[in-house]
Chains A and B, each alone.
Chain A
């Protein structure tokens, strides 16, 4: 009964505009732009899906590690020296470390600090470096000279010495946030230089001149025209350096100025394990493997985003 009514109702409507209606239904009016096309492209890119799922999983693990493991590494009796350096087994997949702590539990709980350091440092470095690089490259002249000299000063500071110096001045040293801050302070010049060079090679293109001839302001020219064309190398370097930052956190922790025990981070686990690598390789291999997968996931994301922003590759 209801079927016939709907059919009757739709039939005359179809007769009124027999050509226009079906055509519109097949191909809805789509307003394309660089970003909407990029999102469409990303959704179909397996690289992005795999990387995205991994990154999402890592973020969930770092927010609620309790969902993924029964025990907490901070609980009383979490570590039992009688299990020291025990090999992986069906019950304890990653085995035990020298203190007799379950490596799987520690890896899961250590994700938070490592992911915070990686994402926070990379985001800060990329935003600061890219914006300053954009500014210096676009403005040129005195501003460019001043900013470039400043980056050279930062480049000349040895990372570890500078890190120790800054850390000793910080009132809140020894956690993931202070490590991120130190590495961001020392890390932004690299992104700055890449961005500046990329802007310089793009800003003399005729399309920038054309935008000026139309009366576009500096904001529109830099953010609509130069930035999308100059950002590709920055995305790649940022994705790769995310892993470098997580690893560098380990170096700082090893020197005693990074994340401090009893806090857990992958870097800390790796630096603790390397002493007995030959005797008990699994203590090092599991956190290192998880770190590698994390870095790989972010690089896949970065590559996918870079490709999606280049219409020529579609």
Chain B
């Protein structure tokens, strides 16, 4: 792979919990993202998976600077963008764009498709000269597989999949290098999901995009991703190439997630060994000490409650499974993988 285009270092996002009406006093914090580091390489797709509430979407918002990071760094081509404001931030936004989860709320119902996709050009007039904008919008519609004549229509005249294509066209308008996709297909019908995923795949080749692809559907992430990161309660617990994660997962949480993926083979379904996790995800306002997964982990021992496992390549593991995993007892599970 090429050089990293986005480096995330110890990124933290805490939402303060306050008490009192007049004199607000901070009594704690929701640790939505709590010290995450990873690199996004040029031209790759990094999938981020994890259950609801683990901080995936907060991570996306912090990377987009829609939420301010509490601490940590986000380096875009070596420059820290997490503290930028004003014009400098606006300039960086040209390079990092986002595709939103729900195509029904992410498009302004009172704007035409032409206005929605053309808005990036109005905000960044240097990207397309005024006279060419309409043409540019029509080209974008063409690129995402919509009829350019739909330019005067309104979002409600489109289906969910078409709306998501409009959202993607808006994200592409500024010719960004990175697109953060926050569950871009989870609101769509299964039949339409594949079309949108394939469109994203095709656009990546066409424009040399780097994707950060957030999802909770493991099969979709495997299909589109080069590398996959697994999040649990604000932490990255395991990260590696898709074979490393899907075939040689070493973190118990990843193994439990993978064992829950539906198998389209009735006989295999009978024999496979499912890991059923008990309990709920703990509150991110008061996470367990040590390893955050220990309260639901079958391997948990005394050490797990005192010592925070670091995201590193476990020493015991060599060869194909050598990837970063934040577990004291990381090892490949001895069952047939999905």
Contacts and interface: CB of A to CB of B under 8 A. Distances in A.
Contacts of A309: 110
A210 B106 contact: yes
A229 B109 contact: yes
B93 A207 contact: no
B109 A312 contact: yes
A225 interface: yes
B292 interface: no
Interface string B192-227: 000000000000000000000000000000000000
Contact of A207 (B66, B107, B154, B156): B107
Interface string A84-117: 0000000000000000000000000000000000
B156 A210 contact: no
Nearest to B134: A31
Contacts of A312: 109, 154, 156
Nearest to A210: B106
A136 B105 CA distance: 23
A153 interface: no
A143 interface: no
8 contacts: A210-B170, A214-B119, A214-B124, A214-B170, A215-B94, A224-B119, A228-B110, A310-B110
Interface of A: 30-34, 37, 205-207, 209-216, 220, 224-225, 228-229, 309-312, 314
B115 interface: yes
A42 B176 CA distance: 40
A251 to B, nearest CB: 38
Interface of B: 61, 64, 66, 89-90, 93-94, 97-98, 100-102, 105-112, 114-115, 119-120, 122-124, 134, 151-152, 154, 156, 167, 170, 174
A311 B123 contact: no
B123 A34 contact: no
Contact of B98 (A213, A216, A311): A213
Most chain B CB atoms below 10 A, which of A34, A205, A207, A309:
A207
B108 A209 contact: no
A222 to B, nearest CB: 13
A34 B106 contact: no
Given A206-B102, A207-B106, 19 more contacts: A32-B151, A33-B111, A33-B112, A205-B106, A206-B106, A211-B108, A212-B66, A213-B98, A214-B123, A215-B89, A215-B94, A220-B122, A220-B123, A224-B111, A225-B108, A310-B110, A311-B154, A311-B156, A314-B154
B98 A207 contact: no
Which secondary structure dominates chain A's binding surface?
helix
A37 B100 CA distance: 27
Contacts of B134: 31
Contacts of A33: 111-112, 115
Contacts of B93: 213-215
Contacts of B167: 210
Contact of B123 (A37, A205, A215, A314): A215
A215 B66 contact: no
B182 to A, nearest CB: 9
A24 B152 CA distance: 16
Given A309-B110, A311-B109, A206 B154 contact: no
B214 to A, nearest CB: 14
A34 B111 contact: yes
B97 A213 contact: yes
Q: Closest 5 A-B residue pairs measured CB to CB?
A: A32-B152, A206-B106, A311-B154, A215-B90, A215-B93
Contacts of B170: 210, 214
A215 B110 contact: no
Contacts of B97: 213-214
B140 to A, nearest CB: 14
A313 to B, nearest CB: 10
A37 B209 CA distance: 36
A32 B123 contact: no
Contacts of B98: 210, 213
Contacts of B61: 209
Contacts of B101: 206
Contacts of A212: 66
Nearest to B91: A215
A214 B170 CA distance: 9
A221 to B, nearest CB: 10
A19 to B, nearest CB: 15
A32 B90 CA distance: 27
A213 B64 contact: yes
Nearest to A204: B105
Contact of A215 (B124, B151, B156): B124
B90 A209 contact: no
A212 B122 CA distance: 13
Nearest to B110: A228
A311 B155 CA distance: 9
A217 to B, nearest CB: 8
Contact of A216 (B100, B111, B123): B123
A229 B108 contact: yes
Nearest to A34: B110
Contacts of B115: 33-34
Contacts of B102: 206
Nearest to A232: B110
Contacts of B174: 214
A31 B133 CA distance: 12
A216 B110 CA distance: 17
Contacts of B94: 215
A38 B106 CA distance: 22
A210 B119 CA distance: 11
Most chain B CB atoms below 10 A, which of A214, A225, A228, A229:
A214
Contacts of A32: 112, 114, 151-152
